[in-house]
C-alpha cells in the first residue's frame, strides 16, 4: 500500500550536526537490561528497530567511569577496549539497516550508589539522593566534588567519547537529566556551590557546556553531540531574565549541542503509565524549545498515533518523534506508516512492564510484543515466524494467551480455529479494561483480533463452549487450551503464604465482580496480589458511590507497581476518590459486619466495620478441559494463565511461545552461543 501523504513529513531526512538521519523516527536512549555482558542480545534488540525503519537507534546509558556504578540495576559501561568491542556489535547491526546509532554517556553522581566499585558517589555539594524504595536506598553519602573531580569528569566524558566513536556510534549524548550528575549541577536543590560552577543559572550551566565541548573536541567534530535535559523542575522555576529557568538554560545552551533531547525529571512522569497519563503529556513542558534554539529537538510522549506525531512536527514542538516504549511495542512502527499500514501498528498500552524489567535487573519485557528481548536468544521476530507449520490448530480460549497463540500459529501457516465460550474475545481484558484508567490495555486484544480477522486461514468462534467431545470431533492436528485462571477466596497468613479460603457472607473475588456481583457498602478490598487490580477495583467501587477501605499486607498500595511507575499515581488516585488505605495488615476473619485484621509485623489484632469484602490475592490455573483431553489420550498444549497465572505480559509471552513451537518436537541447543548467550533447550526449526 502507498503511504498516506499526510505522513510524508515524518519521512523527511534531518541533519544532526555532521550526521544525517534518514527520517524523523528517533528511538531515544532507554534502558533494556542488556549490558555489555550480552552484546549479541543487545545488538539484535536494537537492530530490530533499525530494520523496522527507525532512522536513529540509540542504546541506553553507558557509564563513563567506575565512579558511576548503578548495580544491582543493569548498567552498560564504556570503560575500556572490551567495552568498545561489545558496543560495536550493536552499531554494526544498526548501520546494516541504514540507521544512525547513538549512545548516552552517563554519570549518575549522587544517584549512583557504587555498590560494586565501592567508590564514593560524587555530588556538586554533597547532597544525597534520599530514595525511600529499598532497591535505591543506601547509607552511603556522596563526596563533594573539588576542582580535580570536575576535571576528571570532563576527561572521563572525553575518553568515553573517543571509545564511543571507535565503537561506531554516530551520536554521543551528554546526559543532564533524571537526577544524574550534570543535572545535579543544573538544579539548585543539589548545587550549593559558590565557585564558577554554582550560584547563578549561568554558572550552573557551565559544566554542561564544558562536557559538550569536551565530547565534540574528543571526536574532532566527526560525531554529532546530543544533550539530554530534564525540563520539569526547571520549567516550574522563575528566572530573572527569562520566562523560567528552563528558558534561561536553553537560551544559554542554544548553540552548544547538535541536538536537544528533552524529557521529564522523574520516571513516574517521564514514563507515565497510561492508566493515569495520556499520550503527549510532555508537551506543556517542552513546547518552547523551538522558539529559543534552531537546533533540532527530539522528545517523547508515548506517541502511537501518526496524526499526533505529525501534529508535534507541524506545531513546531519537535523535529524528531522520540520513541522508547512505542519502539519496544512495535519495532516496525515507522515501516508500517511508510507502507500505509497504520492499522497494523502494535500500539504500546502504557502498562510499563518494560520499565519493571530494568527495576528487576533483567532483559526488557513487553506486554504487546512478546518477542522483545528474545530476538537473538530464541530467534523470534515481531513480524515473521521462525518456522512454517502445516495442519490445523484448535485454540480454546480467546484471552491474551489464546489470541497470541492463534496469531502466531496462523502466521506460521497453520489453519487456525479460535473458540471462546464468551460472546466476545478478550478474556480477562473484557472486565479489567472497563476499570478506571485501563481502557488502553484493550489494545492487546484489539491488535490481535484485527490481524486474525484479516487472515484467510483463521476461523473465529465466539460464544462456543468447547467440551472434550467437541475437540475429538473437530479432529485438529494441534490443540491449545488457554482458558485462563480463577481468583480464589483464600486469605494469607503471617508469612504471606495463602491459607484456607474464607467462607463468610458477602465475600467476593474479582471473578464475582466481573460476573456482575454488586457489593454492599462499606466495602473492604484486601489485596495481597500487590499489582494493579486491587486498587483499580477499589477505585471502581468508590466511583459507584460506595465507601471503600483498601487493605494490603505490603508497606504501600499496589507495592509491585513501584516497578511500573504507577505507585505514586495510585496513592494520589486513592486520595482523590476518598478511599482509605491500611498498609502492613492482613485479614484474619469476617462475619459480614466486622473485619478482623492483624498487623503484619507484630500480629496486633485490629478490626473495622464492613458489609462486604473483596479478596484480591491468590489465582489458580489449571483446566478441566485439558485434564479431560489428556485422560482421553488427546495431546493438548496448556498455555497462558491456565498454565501459570501472571500478568498479561506473562500470558502473551506463553501464548507466543506455544504458537512458535507447535509441531516442532526436536530439541535444539545453540552450540555456539557467543558472548552473552543463554543456552536454552528450544524446539528445532
* Catalytic status, residue 197: no
Distance between CA atoms of residues 297 and 307, nearest Å: 18
Residue at 654 is within a domain: yes
Residue at 10 is within a domain: yes
Q: Judge if 318 and 195 occupy the same domain.
A: yes
> Is the pLDDT assigned to residue 675 strictly greater than 50?
no
pLDDT, average across residues 200-229: 98
Q: Judge if 656 and 582 occupy the same domain.
A: no
Using pLDDT thresholds of 50, 70 and 90, give the confidence band for residue 403: very high
Residue at 250 is within a domain: yes
Q: Judge if 87 and 125 occupy the same domain.
A: yes
Distance between CA atoms of residues 663 and 683, nearest Å: 9
Average pLDDT, the chain: 95
Last residue of a domain, one of 360, 382, 417: 360
DSSP states of 357-382 as a string? HHHHTSS---SS-TTTT-TTTT---S
Q: Judge if 355 and 447 occupy the same domain.
A: no
Least confident of 222-231, 328-337, 381-390: 381-390
Q: Report the sign of the C-alpha dihedral through residues 365, 35, 668, 329, in that order.
A: positive
Q: Judge if 470 and 542 occupy the same domain.
A: no
Tens digit of each residue's pLDDT (9 = 90 or more) over 129-145: 888 877 788 888 999 99
Distance between CA atoms of residues 159 and 463, nearest Å: 64
Domain count along the chain: 3
DSSP states of 561-614 as a string? GGGGT-HHHHHHHHHHTT-EEE-SEEEEEE-SSEEEEEETTT--EEEEE-SEEE
Distance between CA atoms of residues 292 and 313, nearest Å: 16
Using pLDDT thresholds of 50, 70 and 90, give the confidence band for residue 673: very low
Tens digit of each residue's pLDDT (9 = 90 or more) over 511-537: 999 999 999 999 999 999 999 999 999
Q: Judge if 505 and 492 occupy the same domain.
A: yes
Domain encompassing residue 17: 5-360
Q: Judge if 260 and 402 occupy the same domain.
A: no
pLDDT at res. 666: 54
pLDDT at res. 683: 42
Tens digit of each residue's pLDDT (9 = 90 or more) over 590-648: 999 999 999 999 999 999 999 999 999 999 999 999 999 999 999 999 999 999 999 99
Distance between CA atoms of residues 373 and 364, nearest Å: 6
Residue at 684 is within a domain: no
Q: Judge if 476 and 586 occupy the same domain.
A: no
Last residue of a domain, one of 566, 585, 620: 620
Q: Is 539 helix (H, G, I), strand (E, B) or coil?
A: helix
Instruction: Please answer whether residues 260 and 294 qualify as being in contact, where contact means their C-beta atoms are separated by less than 8 angstroms.
Output: no
Residue at 251 is within a domain: yes
Residue at 579 is within a domain: yes
Q: Judge if 236 and 320 occupy the same domain.
A: yes
Instruction: Look up the CATH number of the domain holding residue 316.
Output: 3.20.20.70
What dihedral do alpha carbons 20, 22, 24, 26 form, nearest 10°?
Answer: -80
Q: Judge if 603 and 630 occupy the same domain.
A: no
More confident: 406 or 679: 406
Tens digit of each residue's pLDDT (9 = 90 or more) over 310-335: 999 999 999 999 999 999 999 999 99
pLDDT at res. 668: 45
Distance between CA atoms of residues 26 and 333, nearest Å: 11
Cis-peptide, bond into residue 72, ω within 30° of zero: yes
Using pLDDT thresholds of 50, 70 and 90, give the confidence band for residue 670: very low
pLDDT at res. 679: 39
pLDDT at res. 95: 98
Chain mean position to CA 415 = 33
Q: Judge if 176 and 319 occupy the same domain.
A: yes
Residue at 387 is within a domain: no
The pTM assigned to this predicted structure is 0.95
Residue with cell 490495555: 441
Q: Judge if 412 and 318 occupy the same domain.
A: no
Last residue of a domain, one of 591, 620, 649: 620
Using pLDDT thresholds of 50, 70 and 90, give the confidence band for residue 547: very high
Number of other residues whose CB lies within 10 A of the CB of residue 528: 22
Which residues neighbour 22 within 8 Å (Cβ) at sequence distance 6 or greater?
A: 13, 55, 98, 99
Say what angle helices 147-167 and 81-95 make with each other, to 10 degrees: 50
Residue at 211 is within a domain: yes
Number of other residues whose CB lies within 10 A of the CB of residue 566: 29
Instruction: Look up the CATH number of the domain holding residue 553.
Output: 3.50.50.60
> Is the pLDDT assigned to residue 685 strictly greater than 50?
no
Percent share of the chain, pLDDT over 70: 97
Tens digit of each residue's pLDDT (9 = 90 or more) over 26-45: 999 999 999 999 999 999 99
Least confident of 135-144, 145-154, 198-207, 435-444: 135-144
Distance between CA atoms of residues 620 and 643, nearest Å: 9
More confident: 667 or 485: 485
Choosing from 173, 175, 180, 531, the catalytic residue is 180
pLDDT at res. 131: 82
As beta bridge partners, residue 462 has 420
Which residues neighbour 516 within 8 Å (Cβ) at sequence distance 6 or greater?
A: none
Instruction: Look up the CATH number of the domain holding residue 418.
Output: 3.40.50.720
Cell numbers found for residue 117:
566499585
Q: Which DSSP symbol is given to 155? A: H
Q: Report the sign of the C-alpha dihedral through residues 623, 422, 447, 517, in that order.
A: negative
Amino acid at each position: 500500500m502507498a503511504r498516506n501523504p499526510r505522513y510524508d513529513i515524518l519521512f523527511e531526512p534531518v541533519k544532526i550536526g555532521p550526521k544525517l538521519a534518514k527520517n524523523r523516527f528517533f528511538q531515544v536512549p532507554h534502558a533494556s537490561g542488556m549490558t555489555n555482558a550480552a552484546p549479541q542480545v543487545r545488538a539484535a534488540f536494537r537492530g530490530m528497530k533499525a530494520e523496522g525503519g527507525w532512522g536513529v537507534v540509540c542504546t541506553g546509558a553507558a557509564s563513563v567511569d567506575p565512579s558511576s556504578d548503578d548495580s544491582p540495576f543493569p548498567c552498560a559501561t564504556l570503560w575500556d577496549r572490551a567495552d568498545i568491542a561489545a558496543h560495536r556489535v550493536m552499531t554494526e547491526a544498526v548501520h546494516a539497516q541504514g540507521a544512525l546509532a547513538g549512545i548516552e554517556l552517563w554519570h549518575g553522581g549522587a544517584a549512583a550508589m557504587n555498590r560494586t566499585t565501592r567508590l564514593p558517589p560524587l555530588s556538586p555539594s554533597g547532597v544525597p539522593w534520599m530514595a525511600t524504595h529499598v532497591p535505591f536506598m543506601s547509607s552511603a553519602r556522596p563526596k563533594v566534588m573539588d576542582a580535580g573531580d570536575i576535571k576528571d569528569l570532563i576527561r572521563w566524558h572525553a575518553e568515553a567519547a573517543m571509545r564511543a566513536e571507535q565503537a561506531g556510534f554516530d551520536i554521543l549524548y551528554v546526559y543532564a537529566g533524571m537526577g544524574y550528575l550534570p543535572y545535579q549541577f543544573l538544579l539548585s536543590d543539589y548545587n550549593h556551590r559558590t565557585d564558577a560552577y554554582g550560584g547563578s543559572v549561568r554558572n550552573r550551566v557551565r559544566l554542561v557546556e564544558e562536557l559538550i565541548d569536551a565530547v565534540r573536541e574528543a571526536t574532532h567534530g566527526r560525531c554529532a553531540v546530543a544533550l539530554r535535559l530534564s525540563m520539569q523542575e526547571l520549567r516550574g522555576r522563575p528566572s530573572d531574565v527569562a520566562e523560567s529557568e528552563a528558558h534561561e538554560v536553553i537560551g544559554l545552551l542554544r548553540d552548544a549541542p547538535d541536538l536537544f533531547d528533552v524529557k521529564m525529571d522523574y520516571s513516574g512522569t517521564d514514563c507515565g503509565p497510561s492508566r493515569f497519563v495520556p499520550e503527549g503529556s510532555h508537551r506543556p513542558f517542552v513546547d518552547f524549545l523551538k522558539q529559543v534554539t534552531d537546533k533540532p529537538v527530539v522528545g517523547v510522549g508515548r506517541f502511537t498515533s501518526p496524526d499526533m506525531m505529525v501534529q508535534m512536527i507541524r506545531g513546531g514542538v519537535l523535529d524528531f518523534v522520540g520513541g522508547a516504549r512505542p519502539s519496544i511495542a512495535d519495532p516496525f512502527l515507522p515501516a508500517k506508516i511508510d507502507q500505509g499500514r497504520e492499522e497494523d501498528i502494535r500500539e504500546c498500552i502504557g502498562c510499563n512492564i518494560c520499565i519493571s524489567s530494568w527495576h528487576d535487573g533483567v532483559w526488557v519485557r513487553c506486554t504487546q510484543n512478546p518477542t522483545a528481548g528474545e530476538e537473538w536468544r530464541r530467534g523470534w521476530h515481531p513480524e515473521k515466524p521462525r518456522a512454517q507449520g502445516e495442519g490445523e490448530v484448535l485454540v480454546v480460549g480467546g484471552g491474551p494467551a489464546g489470541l497470541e497463540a492463534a496469531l502466531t500459529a496462523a502466521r506460521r501457516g497453520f489453519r487456525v480455529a479460535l473458540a471462546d465460550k464468551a460472546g466476545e474475545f478478550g478474556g480477562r481484558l473484557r472486565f479489567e479494561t472497563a476499570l478506571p484508567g485501563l481502557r488502553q490495555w484493550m489494545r492487546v486484544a484489539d491488535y490481535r483480533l484485527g490481524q486474525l480477522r484479516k487472515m484467510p486461514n483463521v476461523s473465529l468462534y465466539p460464544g462456543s463452549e468447547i467440551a472434550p467431545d467437541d475437540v475429538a470431533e473437530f479432529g485438529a492436528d494441534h490443540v491449545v487450551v488457554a482458558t485462563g485462571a480463577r481468583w480464589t477466596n483464600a486469605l494469607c497468613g503471617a508469612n504471606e503464604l495463602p491459607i484456607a479460603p474464607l467462607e463468610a457472607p458477602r465475600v467476593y473475588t474479582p471473578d464475582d465482580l466481573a460476573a456482575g456481583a454488586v457489593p454492599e457498602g462499606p466495602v473492604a478490598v484486601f489485596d495481597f496480589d500487590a499489582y494493579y487490580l486491587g486498587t483499580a477495583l477499589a477505585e471502581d467501587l468508590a466511583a459507584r458511590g460506595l465507601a471503600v477501605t483498601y487493605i494490603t499486607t505490603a508497606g504501600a498500595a499496589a507495592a509491585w507497581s513501584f516497578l511500573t511507575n504507577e505507585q505514586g499515581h495510585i496513592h494520589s488516585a486513592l486520595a482523590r476518590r476518598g478511599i482509605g488505605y491500611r498498609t502492613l495488615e492482613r485479614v484474619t476473619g469476617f462475619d459480614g459486619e466486622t473485619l478482623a485484621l492483624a498487623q503484619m509485623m507484630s500480629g496486633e489484632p485490629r478490626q473495622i466495620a464492613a458489609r462486604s469484602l473483596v479478596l484480591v490475592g491468590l489465582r489458580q490455573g489449571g483446566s478441566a478441559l485439558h485434564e479431560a483431553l489428556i485422560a482421553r489420550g488427546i495431546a493438548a498444549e496448556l498455555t497462558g494463565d491456565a498454565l501459570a497465572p501472571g500478568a498479561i505480559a506473562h500470558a502473551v509471552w506463553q501464548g507466543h511461545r506455544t504458537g512458535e513451537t507447535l509441531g516442532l518436537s526436536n530439541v535444539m541447543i545453540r552450540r555456539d552461543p557467543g558472548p552473552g548467550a543463554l543456552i536454552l533447550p528450544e524446539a528445532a526449526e
